[in-house]
Amino acid sequence: MTIPQRKLGSTGITVGEIGMGGMPLSVNGRPSEEEGIRAVHAALEQGITLFDTADSYCLDSTEKGHNERLLAKALHNRPEVLIATKGGHIRPDGRWETDGRPEHLRQACEDSLRALGVEAITLYQFHRPDPKVPFAESVGAVSELQREGKIVHVGLSNVSVAQLEEARKIVTVASVQNRMNLFDHSSMDVLKRCEEYGIAFLPYSPLNGMGNAQGIGSNETLSRIARSHDASPQQIAIAWLLQLSPIILPIPGASKAVNIVNCAGASNLELSDKDVAELNGTLLKSPPNATPFKGPDPV
């Protein structure tokens, strides 16, 4: 199977319009390495060529870079693949904390280069603004790494419109990775600004988060529309994102081959205007099994 391609902003790079998030392969509840590699290879077979990771996708700081090393192993000798990684989160004793200090980001980038086994990272994203560090200092550090040739393209994650505008004064922004799905439109203003600038938008948690992905089918409207397309509720949720904007590249996380294959099937769907109107009108009012958002979202 070959899913359609989309541009990664103004980078000149094209990737499959659906990517794969690697976090579930490396955090609590993760599969064996063999099973994880099978899931990655299943994604490749579907035409997925964008894989999202981070140095913090691990159980704790003692295995920093676990997911980067896993993806590097699974995707060895695959020149058509883009592995995007992130720095700025740390995992002391398994907690999710931020560290946006320039010296930390420099070391994080160096460590990611080694974990991925590359001389330059094609897309490196500042993972999350650190309230203890001026945002411009963090972005400036990543920009310096780009000037040194260690990063090709710079992205941002978990940012506001104001932060995006501030970053654009410092560096060319290739992508923004914020939370976005049928049940969470809080980054819609960021998406619209990215459209204005031709910046790729990578919505994470496209199925409402790791703990809620299986439960979205409990929504009556979503399930009915899925049945009418002979599709799964998860496929409808991703198809909604794909039709929301041409700059969107959803990155559903998956720990099993069957799940990423199911997600890739969203590329075959075309939702009607009525479908979209019903989804927009109903789902925001009643997100199924929604887990309250507390503290930093690790994605």
**Nearby residues of 23 by Cβ (< 8 Å), 6 or more positions away:** 53, 54, 57, 67, 210, 253, 298, 299
Locus of tokens 């600004």: 193
Residue pointed to by tokens 């990655």: 40
Asked about 204 being catalytic, the answer comes back as no
By the 8 A CB rule, do 250 and 242 touch?
Answer: yes
Q: What CA–CA distance (Å, rounded) separates 183 from 238?
A: 12
- Going across the sheet that includes 20-21, the strands are 20-21, 50-52, 82-87, 121-126, 151-157, 173-177, 200-201
Q: Are 110 and 73 in contact (CB under 8 A)?
A: no
The Cα 73–Cα 33 span in angstroms is 10
What is the token pair recorded at 142?
């990543």
Report which of 98, 89, 102, 90 is spatially closest to residue 145, judged by C-alpha positions: 102
Nearest to 127 by CA among 53, 27, 29, 211: 53
User: For 139, left (φ over 0), alpha (ψ -120 to 50), or beta?
Assistant: alpha
Q: Which of 57, 124, 197, 204 is catalytic?
A: 57
> Dihedral (C-alpha) 179, 181, 183, 188: value to the nearest 10 degrees?
70
Strand segments, DSSP code E, in 159-270 are 173-177, 200-201
Active site residues: 57
